[in-house]
Amino acid sequence: MTPPASGTRRPRLLRSFLIPTAFVLAYFAARAGIESVEPRSTPALLFALLPVPAFAFFIHAYVRNVRGMDELERRIQLEALAFAFPVALLVAFTAGLLHLAGFEGEGDWDLPRLWPLLVLPYFFGLMRSRRRYV
């Protein structure tokens, strides 16, 4: 099998690194913006929606990237997501139930700060799947 030409690597680098980075930057900009304006105001709403287009673009790029993968890589991705999705649900509903029970998390594990715990299981699942198939 021939390695991909360097021209095809560059768009993958853009999709794999720059697009997620743009989302993370938009997320932190939104957090900073929300904390600098009055809650429930129009600027707060606009800041809250700031990362949405970047994440939508990320989803589009991810799906496009998966469509270009061979069957083995698609299977690895599927297994990683099959592991990560239920773990992310577990983290989200546990945090929600703890919140309802009166344990707000006061800056340590409140819901907006939990998103890394929703992403990390994917990378763990990816590592597990790669070890199994490669």
Interval 73-123: pLDDT, tens = 999 999 999 999 999 999 888 888 887 788 776 666 666 778 778 889 999
In a 10 Å sphere around its CB, with 0-12 CB exposed, 13-18 middle and 19+ buried, how is residue 47 labelled?
buried
- pLDDT at 47 exceeding the cut of 90: yes
- pLDDT higher at 69 or 116: 69
**What does pLDDT average to over the chain?**
85
Most confident range (mean pLDDT) of 3-12, 101-110, 122-131 is 122-131
> 92-99 contacts: CB < 8 A, separation 24 or more?
92/118
> Alpha carbon of 40 to those of 43, 47, 93, 116: distances in Å?
8, 11, 25, 25
- pLDDT at 7 exceeding the cut of 80: no
Confidence of residue 1 (pLDDT cuts 50, 70, 90): very low
Q: Which residue from 82, 86, 18 is spatially nearest to 54, judged by alpha carbons?
A: 18
Q: Which residue from 21, 38, 34, 134 is spatially nearest to 79, judged by alpha carbons?
A: 134
Confidence of residue 15 (pLDDT cuts 50, 70, 90): low
- pLDDT at 62 exceeding the cut of 70: yes
Confidence of residue 4 (pLDDT cuts 50, 70, 90): low
